[in-house]
């Protein structure tokens, strides 16, 4: 088999680093041809010295200007800004683009890659939350595949192999419940960033870790599943599973339910997306069947964790709601981490910004980007 030529957008993040670990373990299957970071030039340069890619990108123009060329290998072309990202994502010698930037900022590179007909291994769920119908339509039109990296969606994708949406009655997304599972709203009033950043089962970047504590992550994943698998919103359900071993369930028309099990380790879904449909030994932790016992499942607490209902609402309403919810949440999470918004204020702020926006059922991309900016400004000054 020919090696797949991989570009990683967001290589210095949690998913980016795990992707490079997969590539390091599978050198005869994967070739790293490009890496992109935002501002972390030192780590990007170190990754380039290890993988010797053809392209390296610093998305932030100031970081690009300040970068020391001699830190990078001679054969690596150093690019800057959004144009650099687009150049990497569309390069002729790239087969698959790993979309692992955090937030709506990931839409640009994902869009460029799909528009060029590249397969995208998608970690950046925000892309589908903001512009699900436009992104999936673009992929279909260009004959590009969207391969899920998010563990729940990878589980669904794996269970669906050989079937279509028409065979499926229900998809049940599992979630750990986060660090605040079992807590009441009263108990969460004074929740701190340090407490919220202590995730019980996954080690991830700060934004998605806070999203996991509010259950906004599961909300975004409901929307992601809706677009990725062309499901009706009422076919999607969420169940709390504290061990993070079962990564989701698919229930078929005949009543059979398939789940995918593995320890919580993103290297497995990343590898599956990159090598699909092949399965080969890789670096991901393996399930220890002898130690396996007591998998628990319980309904989510939608009263305390208000964000979850927002996800179902946005999945059902579509239109401009996803872009607005996502932007408000990004800003609210930033404010919570900065200490200017209480924990429960995150969902409340999102609710308020969503309710205040000018709804449009079929917005074009530029309208979504304008609403993204509007919602960020609203969330930045929201006071409850």
100 binds ligand NDP, rule: CB under 6 A: yes
Q: Which residues fall within 8 angstroms of residue 383, CB to CB, at 6 or more apart?
A: none
266 binds ligand NDP, rule: CB under 6 A: yes
Among residues 364, 113, 99, 322, the alpha carbon closest in space to that of 227 is found at: 322
Near Mg ion by CB under 5 A: residue from 119, 150, 265, 330: 150
14 binds ligand NDP, rule: CB under 6 A: yes
301 binds Mg ion, rule: CB under 5 A: no
Whether the Cβ atoms of residue 219 and residue 310 lie closer than 8 Å to each other: yes
Pairing between β-strand 55-58 and β-strand 146-148 as defined by DSSP bridges: unpaired
The C-alpha atoms of residue 58 and residue 39 are separated, in whole angstroms, by 6
| Contacts with ligand NDP, 181-220, as mask; x by CB under 6 A | ---------------------x-xx-xx------------
Check whether 18 is labelled as a binding-site residue: no
Q: Which residues fall within 8 angstroms of residue 66, CB to CB, at 6 or more apart?
A: 41
Whether the Cβ atoms of residue 39 and residue 120 lie closer than 8 Å to each other: no
Pairing between β-strand 119-122 and β-strand 96-99 as defined by DSSP bridges: parallel
Near ligand NDP by CB under 6 A: residue from 20, 88, 94, 102: 102
Backbone angles phi and psi of 8, in degrees to 5: -115, 110
Buried (b) or exposed (e) across 163-189, using 16+ Cβ within 10 A?
A: eeeeebeebbbbbbbbbbbebeeeebe
Complex with ligand NDP: residue 207 or 306, whichever CB lies closer: 207
Place of tokens 């593995």: 262
Rg (the chain; Cα; Å): 20
Distance of CA 274 to the CA centre of its chain: 15
Check whether 183 is labelled as a binding-site residue: no
Complex with ligand NDP: residue 174 or 352, whichever CB lies closer: 174
Check whether 236 is labelled as a binding-site residue: no
- State the minimum distance, in angstroms, from the CB of residue 2 to ligand NDP: 27
34 binds ligand NDP, rule: CB under 6 A: no
Question: Nearest to ligand NDP by Cβ — which residue?
Answer: 13
- State the minimum distance, in angstroms, from the CB of residue 259 to ligand NDP: 18
Near ligand NDP by CB under 6 A: residue from 47, 80, 120, 126: 126
Q: Which residues fall within 8 angstroms of residue 187, CB to CB, at 6 or more apart?
A: none
Say whether 55 sits in a helix, a strand or coil: strand
Stretch that binds Mg ion, among 103-111, 139-147, 148-156, 302-310 (CB under 5 A): 148-156
Residue 202 interaction partner, one of ligand NDP, Mg ion, none, beta carbon < 5-8 Å per kind: ligand NDP
Complex with ligand NDP: residue 13 or 259, whichever CB lies closer: 13
| Helix axes of 206-214 and 321-338: crossing angle, nearest 10 degrees | 100
Check whether 303 is labelled as a binding-site residue: no
Near ligand NDP by CB under 6 A: residue from 3, 39, 201, 237: 39
Whether the Cβ atoms of residue 47 and residue 20 lie closer than 8 Å to each other: yes
| Token duo for residue 231 | 């499901």
Near ligand NDP by CB under 6 A: residue from 5, 6, 7, 15: 15
Check whether 326 is labelled as a binding-site residue: no
Binding-site residues, please? Answer: 12-15, 40, 124-126, 150-152, 176, 199, 205, 212, 217-218, 221
Residues that bind ligand NDP (CB under 6 A): 10-16, 37-40, 59, 100-102, 105, 123-126, 150, 202, 204-205, 207-208, 266
Residues that bind Mg ion (CB under 5 A): 150-152
Binding-site residues for Mn(2+), please? Answer: 150, 152, 221
């Amino acid at each position: 088999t020919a090696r797949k030529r991989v570009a990683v957008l967001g290589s210095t993040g949690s998913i980016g680093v795990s992707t490079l670990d997969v590539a390091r373990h599978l050198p005869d299957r994967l070739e790293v041809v490009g890496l992109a970071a935002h501002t972390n030039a030192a780590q990007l340069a170190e990754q380039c010295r290890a993988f010797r890619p053809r392209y390296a990108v610093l998305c932030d123009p100031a970081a690009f200007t300040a970068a020391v060329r001699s830190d990078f290998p001679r054969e690596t072309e150093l690019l800057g800004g959004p144009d650099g990202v687009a150049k990497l994502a569309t390069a002729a010698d790239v087969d698959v683009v790993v979309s692992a930037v955090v937030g709506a900022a990931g839409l640009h590179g994902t869009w460029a890659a799909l528009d060029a007909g590249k397969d995208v291994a998608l970690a950046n769920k925000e892309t589908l939350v903001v512009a699900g119908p436009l992104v999936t339509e673009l992929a279909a039109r260009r004959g590009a595949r969207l391969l899920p990296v998010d563990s729940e969606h990878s589980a669904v994708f794996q269970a669906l192999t050989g079937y279509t949406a028409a065979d499926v009655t229900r998809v049940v997304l599992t979630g750990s419940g986060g660090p605040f599972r079992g807590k009441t709203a009263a108990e969460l009033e004074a929740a701190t960033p340090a407490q919220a950043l202590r995730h019980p089962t996954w080690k991830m970047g700060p934004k998605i870790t806070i999203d996991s504590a509010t259950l906004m992550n599961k909300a975004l994943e409901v929307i992601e599943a809706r677009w990725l698998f062309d499901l009706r919103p009422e076919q999607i359900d969420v169940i709390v599973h504290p061990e993070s071993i079962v990564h989701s369930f698919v229930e078929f028309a005949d009543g059979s339910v398939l789940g995918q099990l593995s320890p919580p380790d993103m290297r497995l879904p990343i590898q599956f997306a990159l090598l699909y449909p092949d399965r080969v030994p890789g670096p991901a932790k393996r399930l220890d069947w002898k130690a396996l016992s007591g998998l628990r499942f319980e309904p989510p607490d939608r009263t305390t964790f208000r964000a979850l209902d927002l996800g179902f609402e946005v999945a059902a309403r579509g239109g401009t709601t996803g872009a607005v919810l996502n932007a408000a949440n990004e800003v609210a999470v930033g404010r919570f981490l900065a200490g200017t918004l209480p924990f429960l204020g995150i969902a409340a702020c999102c609710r308020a910004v969503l309710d205040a926006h000018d709804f449009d059922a079929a917005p074009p991309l530029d309208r979504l980007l304008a609403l993204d900016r509007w919602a960020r400004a609203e969330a930045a000054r929201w006071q409850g």
